[in-house]
């Protein structure tokens, strides 16, 4: 089976590896076969979430052909809080629907 492993240990740094594994391989076994547990100690140290195609999965999940295994690190900033802070900095006139308004048009168009 061909699968892909993806891990981003830091912002703007992505590691991707395509791997061929035997049928019946679990998610944890795939990480071990790829050598990522030794290559990235952060995977073992911090309890990272893992998923397949954006859906959470456990380490004992059996993989299927074409799966994309992803390791998720913790967020440093809540996306909702970051958006709220950006909006406060830009003001209501410089964000969203109000950013580019044609002269003489109604608000939001």
Q: Look at residue 6 and tell me if it is in a domain.
A: yes
User: In this structure, what are the phi and psi dihedrals at residue 98, rounded to the nearest 5 degrees?
Assistant: -90, 0
Q: Look at residue 12 and tell me if it is in a domain.
A: yes
- In this model, does residue 12 exceed pLDDT 60? yes
Q: Look at residue 58 and tell me if it is in a domain.
A: yes
User: In this structure, what are the phi and psi dihedrals at residue 36, rounded to the nearest 5 degrees?
Assistant: -75, -25
Which range is least confidently modeled, 3-7, 20-24, 25-29, 72-76?
72-76
Domain of 6: which CATH number?
Answer: 3.10.20.30
Residue range(s) defining the domain that contains residue 6: 2-72
Q: What are the tens digits of pLDDT across the range 57-81?
A: 988 899 999 999 998 887 778 888 8
Q: Look at residue 78 and tell me if it is in a domain.
A: no
- In this model, does residue 18 exceed pLDDT 60? yes
- In this prediction, residue 6 has a pLDDT band, given cuts at 50, 70 and 90, of very high
CA distances (Å), origin 58, targets 1, 43, 44, 71: 19, 14, 14, 11
């Amino acid at each position: 089976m061909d699968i892909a492993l993806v891990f981003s240990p830091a912002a703007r740094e992505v590691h991707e590896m395509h791997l061929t594994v035997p049928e019946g391989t679990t998610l944890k076994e795939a990480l071990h076969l790829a050598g990522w547990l030794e290559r990235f100690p952060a995977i073992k140290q911090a309890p990272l979430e893992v998923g397949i195609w954006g859906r959470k999965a456990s380490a004992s999940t059996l993989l299927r052909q074409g799966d994309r295994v992803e390791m998720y690190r913790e967020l440093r900033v809540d996306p909702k809080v970051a958006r709220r802070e950006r909006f406060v900095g830009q003001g209501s006139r410089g964000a969203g629907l109000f950013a580019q308004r044609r002269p003489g048009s109604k608000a939001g168009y």
